[in-house]
């Protein structure tokens, strides 16, 4: 089982502030790191390392995925990004500057819904009261069925096997390769 590293909680709202945090840590701001941070800032939610590699490069110039993983690991140790495991797919990475996000994932269609940590406080309190566990849903999400899939299952409809990502600010759904 992998675990999310305990990293400092940084607050930043733009790429220049993220660059400052990176430099203050003693890490160099290389072109590859700048392009990767740029790709994270324009992303509408969490993305896989492979998708970030495609977005961080120019046409036909995607950076080496292993290099992207190494930089994401550094960014996570510094508190710039967090990753979440969603089912059987690759881990997804998102900026951490606006606070810890938690996730709900549909087991049927793969929809990933990012929520504010406070939105799951009642669930967290129930689990702690009942079982004595202080839980987080940022690294491993809550899984179940989204409203549409639950209704489809009840109606006996076939499943949608194309996962979706949900913009954590607007709630709008998008396909990962859109």
Q: What is the pLDDT of residues 5-50, one digit of tens each?
A: 566 677 788 899 999 999 999 999 999 999 999 999 998 888 999 9
Break the chain into its structural domains and give their ranges: 15-95, 101-168
Mean pLDDT of the chain: 81
Which CATH superfamily groups domain 101-168?
Ferric-uptake regulator, C-terminal dimerisarion domain (3.30.1490.190)
Average pLDDT over residues 68-97: 88
pTM here is 0.72
Q: What is the pLDDT of residues 87-119, one digit of tens each?
A: 777 888 988 876 778 888 888 888 888 888 889
Does 162 have pLDDT greater than 50? Answer: no
| CATH architecture of residue range(s) 15-95 | Orthogonal Bundle (1.10)
Does 176 have pLDDT greater than 70? Answer: no
With helix as H, strand as E and coil as C, how does the chain read? Answer: CCCCCCCCCCCCCCHHHHHHHHHHCCCCCCHHHHHHHHHHHHCCCCECHHHHHHHHCCCCCCCCHHHHHHHHHHHHHHCCEEEECCCCCCCEEEECCCCCEEEEEECCCCCEEEEEHHHHHHHHHHHHHHHCCCCCCCCCCEEECCHHHHHHHHHCCCCCCCCCEECCCCCCEECCCC
């Amino acid at each position: 089982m992998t675990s999310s590293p305990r990293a400092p909680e940084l607050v930043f709202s733009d790429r220049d502030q993220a660059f400052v945090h990176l430099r203050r840590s003693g890490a160099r701001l290389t072109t590859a790191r700048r392009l990767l941070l740029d790709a994270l800032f324009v992303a509408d939610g969490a993305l896989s390392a492979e998708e970030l590699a495609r977005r961080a490069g120019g046409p036909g110039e995607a950076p080496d995925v292993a290099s992207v993983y190494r930089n994401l690991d550094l960014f996570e140790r510094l508190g710039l990004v967090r990753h979440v495991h969603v089912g059987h797919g690759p881990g997804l990475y998102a900026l951490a500057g606006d606070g810890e996000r938690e996730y709900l994932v549909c087991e049927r269609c793969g929809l990933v819904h990012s929520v504010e940590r406070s939105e799951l406080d009642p669930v967290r309190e129930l689990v702690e009261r009942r079982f004595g566990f202080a839980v987080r849903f940022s690294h491993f999400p809550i899984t179940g069925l989204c409203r549409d899939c639950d209704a489809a299952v009840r109606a006996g409809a076939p499943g949608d096997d194309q996962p979706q990502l949900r913009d954590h600010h607007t709630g709008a759904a998008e396909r990962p390769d859109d």
